[in-house]
Amino acid sequence: MAITAAEPSGLWGLLKESFAGGAALSKAATGSNANGLVKAVVADFSTSEGRSAARDGLQAEFAGSKPPEMKTKSIDSLRQVSALLGAKAPGDAAAFKDWLRQISQSTAEASSEGGSLFGGGVQVSDAEKATLAEISSALGV
């Protein structure tokens, strides 16, 4: 959410960035190297109840928010996740945080910024690079 809010890129870019997040979930579900906590979270998102809970939570958190507010709220949530992982799942924390960071990177790389329908632009904008740095800092990675 933070990456998409950092540099809104229109409908096509939004779709590409959304698919990147979904692909990361799918990859974690089938990957043999995925951490147990990552697999448990992915399994929860694989159910209609899990998807509904996630969607409802996002709608409640971001309702009425402008992109800069969405980015700030997302980064703040990542700080909270980082602290919770450190307190409740220290053995899984590093792998889980790395997974979240990888999703952010994949999302940033999913759509070119500043170009046109026919190309151009940059793969990862300066705003997205700055947001990736904020995400890394929030996660402590």
Summarised one tens digit per residue, pLDDT across range 46-90 is: 899 998 999 999 999 999 999 899 999 999 999 999 999 999 999
pLDDT for res 113: 66
Where are the alpha helices (H) located in 64-89, listed in sequence order? 67-88
Residue 110 has pLDDT above 70, yes or no: yes
107 against 8, higher pLDDT: 107
- Residue whose C-alpha is closest to residue 74's, from 15, 12, 21: 21
- Provide the residue range defining the domain that includes 37: 2-139
In the chain, the number of structural domains is 1
58 against 8, higher pLDDT: 58
Say which residue the tokens 């690079």 belong to. Answer: 129
